[in-house]
Structure 1
């Protein structure tokens, strides 16, 4: 049981020392509507899935609403939850980037208070901005993470940056008496009924046949997390020469990067016709279908890698060591990671560990993972293609 800070002494359990592992005894009564704030990127939403499943099992009759982004809403369209629904939040300082409109913000909170949430869950960082946001929802109970300088909620657990996000979310869910669900501590996302990644690729002119499908995503929001494109190309070419079809994915902004991977891989004649890019051609639902039908996904620490993981696909990922702590898979049967151990900027030597909160990020974008050998990634992909056990049955 995580350490709990209670706003009121009367709420504290009478025998917390002996019952600290009895998570269920902290369950709130008469909970019918739960709001969960998680308004970050694609990966941020996926990191919250273990907590959402835990809340669903603890409160099986509840409606669970994620206060997120239009991307999260698009991802869940037609997909079995949790959550039951996603409501995009308006731009808000420290919660969602964008131009803040006070009238729009006030109207949003008025609508949320009308929803009559019984429990509001803050899964959106240390709470300096997100805890006041959650307080404005008008829920009867509030829980979440908290830095020492953040506003209090009814129940909180300390926010310390270096912690796996799946486990962080589960610590917060435990504040409401929700233990890890039957799906465990890693993300599980249901597939949209009838969605076929093979059909998506066929419509894009890519014939898969009977061989394995390997999907490569060479992008990442932070350039420092990107493994060099020529390494992805080498792995793609070597695998394609052995029979799999390799499809490179990315959004419109990553099209040139993906084209560079395909161009470099095509220089090996035996693999030229078996490596193709669909970058910029797929919407989020189509991307999810393709990732879900892949035999292996090879990627950086990125949203598509996390999405493939949640859909039950085996992954090989290149991580900077600091990001592995927060965003890496917990298991290795279906997920392999290769680490860049860079602790200082390769250009200016600035400390990049984050251990000094006062240190500003330097202006350089050199890769922190360039030292990861291509052969290590290739070998992991081949091993998973040969031996990866089947995924668990997704929720319905």
Structure 2
């Protein structure tokens, strides 16, 4: 495999990435690198439907988004299913010069992109995944921003800009305006207490302790969450002594505006934390130690980490970190415990106050 520049300028490049919000945010520097290196090529993102809606509302390096219904269902269907075959036929008519993926070790997607008729394929591959024209091995413990930049380098695409960036639009600001009207111009801290995995959830009582301390320092507290996280957010509010603003109905654009204008964002390791970084907010992220290697921020001027070093399941004492954390859940350990609950309130509050104090200087 080679990482040299292509012999001719590509006219059409597709990138397959059909995953969740945080996964998408960490692809942005690599997507920017491709556009920076090949500015005259059409850059097409093959993604979940929500990405198309999100990018349609704001400037980005992506020229077009094509929804990938098979991948949005997990691509657990046979590769010769009617849905997949129809999609492959449509993609062949696109005549992509390059298709690359940022979608894991290749076992589920390499055979898929090899059916799309591109002149060159690139991405990640661990056996028994099908070969690609250019590939790097998937080694789990690697920062995801740098992993995706390494994939972009397979087609000679480079950039000096490592931080993900998302532009907040006037429409985003308008969506967030009703929430900010309640705040009435006072400085506010956003607390996002949800996450998709219980093992990444810091306890509601501890979030409440941080929130109450920040209220005493003069900050309003905004508790954000997805609609499915309403119970988690409500539990934080109930545990608080002070009052907070509950916010579980914003679309991603409105959430981006709310995060950007905050004094600080405190969050579990989940998508809105990555979005907060991408819009320029200061953050305190609550992490399980192994996940810092993949999902921690590259810089520390605006970002701090509260890290749990607990590696053993609280119930069975098994270390579920091989071959990678929680993916898949080990059959001998699927106990529903938080691996970050042991982080003290002080380890979140102290870096939060440090960042807030620095912002005032």
Residue number in structure 2 paired with 1:18: none
Q: 2:67 aligned with 1:88, yes or no?
A: yes
Q: 2:250 aligned with 1:277, yes or no?
A: no
Could you list the runs of 5+ residues in structure 2 that have no partner in the other structure?
Answer: none
After superposition, what is the alpha-carbon deviation per residue over 1:152-187, rounded to whole angstroms, capped at 9, x for unaligned? 111111111111110100111111111124xx2221
Which TM-score applies when normalising by structure 2? 0.92
Residue number in structure 2 paired with 1:190: 167
Q: 2:263 aligned with 1:295, yes or no?
A: yes
Decide which of 323, 334, 338 is 1:367's aligned counterpart: 338
Q: CA RMSD in A?
A: 2.4
Contact 2:320 2:330 in 1 (8 A): no
Could you list the runs of 5+ residues in structure 1 that have no partner in the other structure?
Answer: 1-5, 7-11, 13-22, 391-396
Q: 2:237 aligned with 1:262, yes or no?
A: yes
Residue number in structure 2 paired with 1:310: 278
| Structure 1 range deviating more: 168-177 or 148-157 | 148-157
Once the 2 structures are TM-superposed, how far is the Cα of residue 349 of structure 1 from its aligned partner? Answer: 1.5
Residue number in structure 2 paired with 1:231: 206
Once the 2 structures are TM-superposed, how far is the Cα of residue 26 of structure 1 from its aligned partner? Answer: 2.4
Residue number in structure 2 paired with 1:379: 350
Q: How does 1:33-52 map to 2 (within 5 A)?
A: 33-52=12-31
Once the 2 structures are TM-superposed, how far is the Cα of residue 389 of structure 1 from its aligned partner? Answer: 9.7
**Partner-residue secondary structure (3-state), 1:108:** helix
Q: 1:28 to 1:318 in 2, by over 3 A?
A: farther
Q: How does 1:1-396 map to 2 (within 5 A)?
A: 6=1, 25-92=4-71, 95-96=74-75, 102-181=81-160, 184-196=161-173, 199-204=174-179, 207-265=182-240, 267=241, 271-272=242-243, 275-279=244-248, 281-355=249-323, 360=330, 362-388=333-359
Contact 2:286 2:340 in 1 (8 A): yes
Which TM-score applies when normalising by structure 1? 0.84
Once the 2 structures are TM-superposed, how far is the Cα of residue 222 of structure 1 from its aligned partner? Answer: 0.9
Write the distance in 1 (CA, Å) between the matches of 2:115 and 2:224: 40
Write the distance in 2 (CA, Å) between the matches of 1:178 and 1:237: 47
After superposition, what is the alpha-carbon deviation per residue over 1:190-237, rounded to whole angstroms, capped at 9, x for unaligned? 2224531xx545424852233322111101111101111111111111
Write the distance in 1 (CA, Å) between the matches of 2:163 and 2:72: 30
Q: 1:75 to 1:128 in 2, by over 3 A?
A: same
Once the 2 structures are TM-superposed, how far is the Cα of residue 72 of structure 1 from its aligned partner? Answer: 1.5
**Partner-residue secondary structure (3-state), 1:195:** helix
Once the 2 structures are TM-superposed, how far is the Cα of residue 86 of structure 1 from its aligned partner? Answer: 1.9
Write the distance in 2 (CA, Å) between the matches of 1:171 and 1:263: 45
Once the 2 structures are TM-superposed, how far is the Cα of residue 358 of structure 1 from its aligned partner? Answer: 9.3
Once the 2 structures are TM-superposed, how far is the Cα of residue 119 of structure 1 from its aligned partner? Answer: 0.7
| Structure 1 range deviating more: 247-256 or 96-105 | 96-105
After superposition, what is the alpha-carbon deviation per residue over 1:82-114, rounded to whole angstroms, capped at 9, x for unaligned? 222222211249955689992222211111111
Contact 1:143 1:153 in 2 (8 A): yes
